[in-house]
């Protein structure tokens, strides 16, 4: 092994050379300080500020003779500096060009080579050659073994600081070429490079940095190491989980219509208003499936008369029970006892399915008799609190895009698709064989899928958006929903750990493990937000390493992870935005997950409210309190760090600078979290969905005006006209939309008008008209196909800049929320005084 590594890697130098090198690494400014001291004839190296003091300011303890000599030296030095400044700058420029020539040459050549490569040809070649080879088990395991051995050699070989720097440059240069290639094999290459860079950092971290000067520093240092180890585990598990996204295609139903399975559609509800449940029910009625084989049920755990009347009017079933035991899971299980359909389609009461939902999904059950469940994505046509309060709606992928866009496809490869509680179809017999929907945890959906897979049933994921619903309206509701998910995953980890027991493959176990471990990010994230405070406040050294070396090992890991994630995940999550989501949730999920690990029976199911309004903008002080306190601590640490840099810790300026960068980044993340807590106003009861659909206005006079529908809701449309239109006062008219080739006209009246646009509101409609409206809008098969087409392209540096802007804007919102009330009080008192005068 040693001889093998010597062929490719530079070995450790002699002890003397290594000592000199370590000297340079430990204080790279030492030689410069010594030279500056010699210029002023000082006896020993001094800090830069002392050198400048001696150069420009006379010391009080200098004698006249010494002062005159020093003044002469200063004058001589400044005159020489003035004469040589131009030539010095030119020389430095030439030196810089010479020293960086190899790197610039390498980058230029790589760029030229990259431009000449036909990436599509390369991808086709690799798919045609590598894919068939890797289908052979012996070849696959041999390649894995050889790759593992080679990676271990690279990871464990000691390098000098220069060698580590060269490693960084080589990895970066290779990744910049590979990232331009589409396909799975380039993504696997980037992931491998990222894991090797991570491995070198982990090896160095464990072998070099775990020496502490006190018990308290050891405690803090080991806490940071455990938080880092958590992130390393999540990175590795994530790579395994998404190594080969399946991208399953829908299967056509080959049976005759009379042989199609009977389907029960469940729409569970508890406290949501009828305005939310009504569109979902209409969309379910409009599903393209034989009517004698389709039954729809509203499962009302709120036991409300208006819902019963609505169900009767729509001709759908209505099921209630005497209690609310086990919340949503109990509601579904109660309905299972009263229905008989072969398949169960479940939709949250705010999720509207498209007409083709069942035809797209059910073919998988027909082809695979062992298939117990098919899941489709959850999609939201309204902005969540992050998107609304930070202004990123339909520009930056939201929090769930990564899971439904990539992770679930990765799970599907391992036959580990998660049931997500809605937008899914389950076969009745397998579901009943596991006792119905799981009730042991508050994440009944994922736990149910785990039970099905333990019995050997297969599951599937179809990544087409076939239903859409409402996102949470407020940050508090959003956090409450995530707390339930986090607590439920921790409960499953305790009561039905996927690593233990029978029935699961290794891939399934790792996919579930990653999903559960993911929700333990609360404590590690809080550690990362506070770790630099230990040094900046108290000068505790919790990483025993020089800043220069630490940077040389951290930077390859961070850079390679960023490049790999941007290539693989960029379409579904922009770089650095995951940090914002975790920062907002960290404080609130840390305690519930810890408690659930200790006692999984504690806690209760909380329903996520939908369809609410935010009547006016406000700052949520209750939710934002933890972020605000952490932000103030980080800002205070930043101020102290500046003093340490120039006055207190000049002997370890590199360490100070590294911690300053860390605390600045943390402050920006916390600023973004504060910005999310500033709730923007939301007064629409029905959210408008942007679109481009042909439409026609029919006036009472018989005139037809062709136009374009630019947004729609259940209550009205926005229309774009080809030429200005002057309506009559309170004019009633009809607007036509198309379902395939069928024209449907809906009664409406004009509520707003501009030069070439109209806003219209629908008048009361019959049941058939309401169903037709849903079919022409929300339930169109292509309603959500191009929804993400307007998303920005993920560029890591642009993402970092955007996070900085969002963070600074968050602090602006915080200060505004503090000073505006004070200003209002001052104005009120001033007006009172003026009134008295």
Residue 248 DSSP symbol: P
Residue 525: alpha-carbon gap to chain centroid = 14
Residue 781 DSSP symbol: T
Under 8 Å CB-to-CB from 75, ≥6 apart: which residues? none
Three-class secondary structure assignment of 710-735: EEECCCEEEEEECCCCCCCCCCEEEE
* Pair 398, 384: CB distance under 8 Å: yes
In terms of DSSP H, where are the helices of 338-464?
357-367, 385-390, 401-402, 408-413, 428-433, 444-454
> How many other C-beta atoms are found inside a 10 Å radius of the C-beta of residue 360?
23
In terms of DSSP H, where are the helices of 209-324?
215-241, 274-285, 305-314
Q: Determine the Cα–Cα distance for residues 572 and 328; give it in Å rounded to an integer.
A: 29
- How far is residue 806 from each of residues 66, 148, 357, 418, 668, measured CA to CA in Å? 56, 41, 38, 33, 8
Residue with tokens 């006896």: 43
* Pair 627, 677: CB distance under 8 Å: yes
Residue 257 DSSP symbol: G
Q: Determine the Cα–Cα distance for residues 124 and 99; give it in Å rounded to an integer.
A: 40
Q: Determine the Cα–Cα distance for residues 9 and 2; give it in Å rounded to an integer.
A: 10
Under 8 Å CB-to-CB from 232, ≥6 apart: which residues? 198, 202
Residue with tokens 């019995």: 455
Q: Determine the Cα–Cα distance for residues 467 and 379; give it in Å rounded to an integer.
A: 7
Q: Determine the Cα–Cα distance for residues 88 and 101; give it in Å rounded to an integer.
A: 20
Under 8 Å CB-to-CB from 68, ≥6 apart: which residues? none
- How far is residue 136 from each of residues 62, 122, 131, 141, measured CA to CA in Å? 84, 22, 9, 9
Q: Determine the Cα–Cα distance for residues 103 and 107; give it in Å rounded to an integer.
A: 6
Q: Determine the Cα–Cα distance for residues 599 and 487; give it in Å rounded to an integer.
A: 11
Q: Are strands 678-679 and 742-753 parallel, antiparallel or unpaired?
A: unpaired
> How many other C-beta atoms are found inside a 10 Å radius of the C-beta of residue 171?
20
Burial of 172 (0-12, 13-18, 19+ CB in 10 A): middle
**Rg over CA atoms, the chain:** 32
Strand partners, 335: none
Under 8 Å CB-to-CB from 730, ≥6 apart: which residues? 749
Strand partners, 299: 268, 319
* Pair 355, 434: CB distance under 8 Å: no
Q: 3-state DSSP call for residue 463? A: coil
* Pair 257, 290: CB distance under 8 Å: yes
- How far is residue 118 from each of residues 112, 121, 563, 568, 618, measured CA to CA in Å? 12, 5, 21, 20, 53
Could you give the residue numbers annotated as active site?
Answer: 301, 445
Q: 3-state DSSP call for residue 83? A: helix
- How far is residue 27 from each of residues 42, 98, 163, 456, measured CA to CA in Å? 20, 24, 18, 61
Structural tokens at position 225: 């190491």
Under 8 Å CB-to-CB from 569, ≥6 apart: which residues? 402, 406, 794
Structural tokens at position 789: 């087409």
Nearest to 470 by CA among 609, 655, 638: 609
């Amino acid at each position: 092994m040693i001889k093998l590594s010597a062929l490719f890697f530079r070995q450790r130098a002699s002890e003397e050379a290594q000592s000199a090198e370590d000297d340079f690494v430990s204080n790279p400014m030492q030689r410069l300080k010594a030279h500056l001291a010699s210029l002023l004839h000082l006896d020993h190296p001094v800090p830069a500020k002392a050198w400048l003091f001696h150069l420009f300011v006379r010391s009080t303890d200098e004698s006249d003779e010494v002062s005159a000599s020093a003044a002469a030296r200063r004058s001589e030095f400044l005159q020489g500096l003035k004469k040589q400044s131009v030539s010095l700058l030119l020389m430095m420029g030439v030196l810089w060009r010479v020293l960086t020539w190899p790197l610039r040459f390498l980058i230029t050549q790589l760029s030229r080579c990259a431009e000449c490569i036909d990436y599509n040809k390369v991808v086709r070649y690799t798919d045609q050659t590598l894919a068939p080879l890797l289908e052979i088990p012996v070849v696959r395991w041999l390649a894995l073994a050889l790759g593992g051995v080679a990676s271990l050699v690279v990871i464990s070989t000691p390098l000098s600081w220069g060698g580590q720097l060269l490693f960084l440059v080589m990895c970066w240069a290779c990744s910049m070429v590979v990232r331009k290639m589409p396909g799975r094999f380039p993504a696997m290459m980037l992931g491998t490079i990222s894991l090797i860079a991570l491995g070198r950092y982990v090896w160095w971290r464990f072998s070099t940095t775990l020496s502490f000067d006190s018990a308290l520093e050891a405690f803090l240092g080991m806490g940071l190491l455990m938080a880092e180890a958590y992130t390393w585990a999540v990175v590795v598990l994530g790579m395994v989980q998404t190594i080969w996204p399946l991208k399953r295609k829908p299967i056509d139903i080959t049976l005759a219509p009379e042989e199609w399975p009977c389907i029960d559609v469940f729409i569970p509800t508890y406290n949501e208003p009828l305005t939310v449940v009504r569109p979902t029910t209409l969309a379910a009625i409009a599903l393209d499936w034989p009517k004698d084989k389709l039954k729809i049920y509203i499962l009302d755990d709120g036991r409300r008369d208006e819902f019963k009347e609505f169900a009767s009017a729509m001709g759908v079933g209505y099921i209630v029970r005497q209690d609310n035991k086990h919340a949503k899971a109990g509601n579904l299980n109660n309905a299972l006892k009263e229905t008989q359909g072969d398949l169960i389609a479940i939709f949250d009461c705010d999720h509207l399915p498209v007409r083709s939902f069942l035809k797209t999904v059910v073919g998988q059950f027909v082809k695979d008799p062992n298939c117990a469940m098919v899941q489709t994505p959850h999609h939201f046509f309204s902005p969540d609190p992050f998107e609304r309060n930070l202004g990123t709606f339909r520009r930056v992928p939201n929090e769930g895009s990564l899971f439904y866009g990539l992770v679930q496809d990765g799970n599907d490869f391992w036959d580990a698709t998660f049931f997500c509680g809605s937008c899914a179809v389950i076969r009745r017999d397998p579901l009943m064989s596991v006792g119905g929907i799981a009730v042991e945890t508050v994440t009944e959906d994922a736990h149910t899928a785990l039970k099905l897979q333990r019995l050997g049933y297969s599951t599937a994921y179809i990544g087409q958006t076939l239903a859409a619903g409402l996102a949470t309206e407020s940050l508090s509701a959003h956090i409450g929903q995530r707390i339930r998910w986090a607590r439920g995953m921790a409960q499953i980890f305790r009561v039905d750990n996927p690593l233990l027991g029978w029935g699961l493959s290794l891939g399934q176990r790792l996919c579930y493990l990653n999903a559960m471990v993911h929700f333990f990010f609360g404590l590690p994230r809080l550690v990362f937000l506070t770790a630099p405070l230990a040094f900046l406040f108290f000068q505790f050294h919790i990483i025993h390493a020089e800043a220069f070396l630490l940077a040389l090992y951290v930077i390859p890991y961070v850079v390679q992870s960023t490049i790999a994630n941007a290539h693989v995940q960029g379409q579904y999550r922009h770089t650095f935005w995951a940090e914002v989501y975790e920062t907002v949730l960290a404080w609130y999920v840390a305690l519930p997950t810890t408690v659930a690990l200790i006692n999984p029976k504690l806690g209760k199911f909380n329903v996520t409210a939908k369809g609410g309004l935010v009547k006016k903008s406000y700052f949520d002080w209750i939710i934002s309190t933890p972020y605000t306190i952490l932000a103030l601590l980080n800002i205070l640490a930043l101020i102290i760090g500046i003093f340490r840099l120039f006055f207190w810790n000049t002997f370890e300026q590199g360490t100070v600078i590294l911690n300053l960068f860390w605390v600045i980044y943390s402050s920006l993340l916390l600023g973004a979290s504060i910005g999310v807590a500033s709730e923007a106003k939301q007064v629409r009861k029905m959210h408008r969905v942007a679109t481009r659909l042909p439409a026609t206005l029919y006036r009472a006079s018989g005139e037809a005006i062709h136009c374009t529908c630019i947004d729609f809701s259940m209550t009205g449309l926005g229309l774009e006209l080809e030429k200005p239109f002057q309506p009559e006062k309170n004019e009633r008219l009809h607007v036509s939309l198309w379902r395939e080739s069928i024209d449907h006209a809906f009664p409406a009246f004009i509520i707003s008008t501009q030069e070439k646009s109209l806003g219209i509101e629908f008048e009361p409609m019959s049941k058939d008209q309401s169903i037709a409206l849903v079919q022409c809008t929300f339930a169109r098969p292509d309603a959500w196909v191009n929804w993400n087409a307007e998303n920005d392209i993920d560029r890591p540096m642009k993402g970092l800049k955007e996070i900085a802007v969002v963070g600074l804007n968050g602090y602006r919102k915080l200060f505004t929320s503090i000073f505006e009330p004070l200003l209002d009080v001052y104005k009120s008192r001033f007006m009172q005084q003026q009134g008295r005068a």
